């Protein structure tokens, strides 16, 4: 194997390289801008938000959707619509006990439950 350097560099390259490299301590000593200083923290925050968004999306997509008609009862109860509840009771042949036990097991607040009872809709 013979040895001769077959590669070259642009003219005056090593002189400019030396000058650029000697600027490193000067550039390193220059104060960093606020944006520059906070960039790693912003990157962490953005990553966390992205992770939460992806997690939320995946959970929503994989969650079992429950649609058994009782959601409509919750809607009527939460919107404090006694007439709607009465109508529902008649058409679906539900007892007061059915609705009461459902609402107790749901996330409806005690105040709202009391208000519904006061209305004596059922």
The residue range among 9-17, 55-63, 71-79, 95-103 that interacts with another protein, by the rule CB under 8 A, is: 9-17
Q: Given the complex with another protein, which of 2 and 91 has the nearer CB atom?
A: 2
d(CA 54, CA 33): 32
| Least CB distance to another protein at residue 18 (A) | 6
Q: Given the complex with another protein, which of 23 and 107 has the nearer CB atom?
A: 23
Phi, psi of 109 (to 5 degrees): -75, 160
Q: Taking the alpha carbons of 68, 72, 78, 84 in that order, is the dihedral positive or negative?
A: negative
Of 53, 103, 42, the closest CA to residue 73 belongs to 103
Q: Given the complex with another protein, which of 27 and 109 has the nearer CB atom?
A: 27
d(CA 32, CA 71): 56
Which stretch of DSSP H or E encloses residue 121?
none
Q: Given the complex with another protein, which of 14 and 44 has the nearer CB atom?
A: 14
Task: Considering only residues 15 through 54, tell me which ones interact with another protein, judged by CB under 8 A.
Answer: 17-18, 20-22, 24-25, 28
Binding site for another protein (CB under 8 A): 1, 3-10, 14, 17-18, 20-22, 24-25, 28
């Amino acid at each position: 194997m013979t040895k001769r350097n077959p590669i070259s560099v642009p003219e005056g390259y090593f002189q400019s390289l030396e000058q650029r490299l000697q600027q490193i301590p000067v550039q390193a000593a220059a104060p960093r801008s606020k944006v520059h200083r906070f960039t790693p923290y912003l990157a962490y925050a953005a990553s966390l938000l992205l992770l939460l968004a992806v997690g939320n999306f995946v959970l929503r997509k994989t969650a079992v959707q429950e649609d058994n008609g009782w959601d409509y009862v919750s809607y009527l109860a939460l919107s404090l619509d006694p007439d709607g509840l009465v109508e529902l009771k008649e058409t679906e042949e539900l007892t007061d006990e059915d609705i009461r036990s459902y609402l107790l097991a749901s996330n409806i607040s005690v105040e709202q439950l009391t208000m519904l009872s006061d209305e004596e809709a059922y």
